[in-house]
Chains A and B, each alone.
Chain A
């Protein structure tokens, strides 16, 4: 039983961290299979008129500001968001300018959210690395305790209990990372779809 704990802990750490070396030397803490693109470039998602003249101005317009918040939220279904864009731009006096303001706001907001998620992923990867080191060290310590001639069973039990918990937390975090890796892509997808809807309206 005790041996099983040490072997299991050891396996989890080597299996998850052994293979997960960063593929991109520029980003050693990036844990996802998708190659890291630190921020979305405007040219990747927007083929409409230049936005230079409206940079940052969307914040001054309360209607645009609240619409940006609504459209950026992933709980707003995409169809509903696209409809809101159509409705808003239909009533606008200067369709092109309003469309540009709206996209400018969505670009800033969603890019910001995406950066936060990516920073979080790298932070949690560093934490995982520390946890892996701790599990490795504790596994060695446990093996040493078990090998002693007059072994202290209470100590062995305590340490193997600690190891079980550490391993469980490590595995849970690993699963969460895999799941969260999908979020930056989901944001890219949303921004592109919203941008396309705006461009169609102002064309």
Chain B
């Protein structure tokens, strides 16, 4: 009797679990926001159906784009309007503006989501913004055409790259002073820290390489190069970098090579090149890391990569000149 009752319970639990799991599947869907530099819009994509659910009008020349830590808002840098716009995710419209410097391009949010560091391409500065008060806290002078921005996992260092000066500027977030400059190859575009803070990866669009920097010593310790048979070396222009949370695999967007390189971070060698759309620049993982979405600026679409299978499974048409992408749970 007792055992039967238990079995009943088991069955009920199992049934309940199955039902719960069944319901949980659609809840695991995410939303992706894509900035379209030329059409002055942001495309919203539902990752459960891989369809466009909304196109939001934003300011002029949207590029850098990122969710706030609570997932309620999306920041988008609108370069030709010299500001950062705030999109309310529930309302799916622009509701506020943050003050940046002229021509903001990319930005980094600190771990708490309270301070935003913005690279202003046109006046060689990084603007520091208090997100809650919507005010400017200060500015840091950096090299010519600042772009790449990343904060170290411990929050102590901000790295900014300058496209024309070809440098990675190491900035102390407490004193807001540059503490080191590391020379990399021509036109650095993007910075990615390993989660354990052991390495910083920086892409050089014209140099065609990714430099690996030891953040403690602040020196270049290795360089990743790319070679795709049948492709001119000039077409290999590394820009976006995304690393898995375990730090084992990196995906690097190679611009007009129309490919994403898969790199084993232990050997620092490319293991595979995935053919995506034209002029691939930026990438973002879904929070469960099952998929990687990449923006193809010339073919005006987004490719979806199955991370485990390392295969492109889908192409989604978006606006004109898709640039940045950010993904979060709804």
Contacts and interface: CB of A to CB of B under 8 A. Distances in A.
Interface of A: 23-26, 35-45, 47, 185, 188-189, 192-193
Interface stretch (B12-20, B191-199, B231-239): B231-239
Interface string B224-259: 000011111011010000000000000000011110
B210 to A, nearest CB: 16
Given A37-B235, A40-B235, 18 more contacts: A23-B187, A24-B186, A26-B234, A35-B187, A35-B205, A35-B255, A37-B256, A38-B234, A43-B228, A43-B231, A45-B258, A47-B275, A185-B298, A188-B256, A188-B279, A189-B298, A192-B298, A193-B299
Nearest to B208: A35
Contact of A44 (B186, B206, B257): B257
B232 A37 contact: yes
A188 B258 CA distance: 11
Contacts of A23: 163-164, 186-187, 206
Interface of B: 163-164, 186-187, 205-206, 228-232, 234-235, 237, 255-258, 275, 277-279, 298-299
A174 to B, nearest CB: 18
Nearest to B277: A192
A45 B279 CA distance: 11
Minimum-distance CB pairs A-B, first 8:
A43-B230, A41-B231, A37-B234, A43-B231, A37-B235, A41-B232, A189-B298, A24-B206
Contacts of B164: 23
B229 A43 contact: yes
Task: Give the interface SS of chain A, mostly helix, strand, loop or mixed.
Answer: loop
Contacts of A35: 187, 205-206, 234, 237, 255-256
B232 A38 contact: yes
Contacts of A43: 228-231
A193 B30 CA distance: 29
B234 A44 contact: no
Contacts of A41: 230-232, 235
Nearest to A182: B38
A76 B38 CA distance: 22
B229 A189 contact: no
B231 A188 contact: no
B278 A36 contact: no
Nearest to B228: A43
Contacts of A193: 299
Contacts of A192: 258, 277-278, 298-299
Contacts of B229: 43
B258 A44 contact: yes
Given A23-B164, A44-B258, A189 B234 contact: no
Contacts of A47: 275
A26 B187 CA distance: 13
B37 to A, nearest CB: 12
Contact of A189 (B235, B237, B257, B278): B278
A36 B205 CA distance: 11
Contacts of A40: 235
Contacts of B255: 35
17 contacts: A24-B206, A25-B186, A35-B205, A35-B237, A35-B255, A37-B232, A37-B235, A41-B231, A41-B235, A44-B231, A44-B235, A45-B258, A188-B256, A188-B279, A189-B299, A192-B298, A192-B299
B233 to A, nearest CB: 9
Nearest to B234: A37
A184 to B, nearest CB: 10
A25 B187 CA distance: 11
A24 B228 CA distance: 21
A189 B321 CA distance: 11
Contacts of B205: 35
Nearest to B321: A185
B298 A188 contact: yes
Nearest to A25: B186
Contacts of A44: 231, 235, 256-258
A23 B166 CA distance: 10
Contacts of B163: 23
Contacts of B231: 41, 43-44
Contacts of A185: 279, 298
Nearest to A39: B232
Contacts of A189: 278, 298-299
A26 B257 CA distance: 18
B184 to A, nearest CB: 14
A145 B237 CA distance: 50
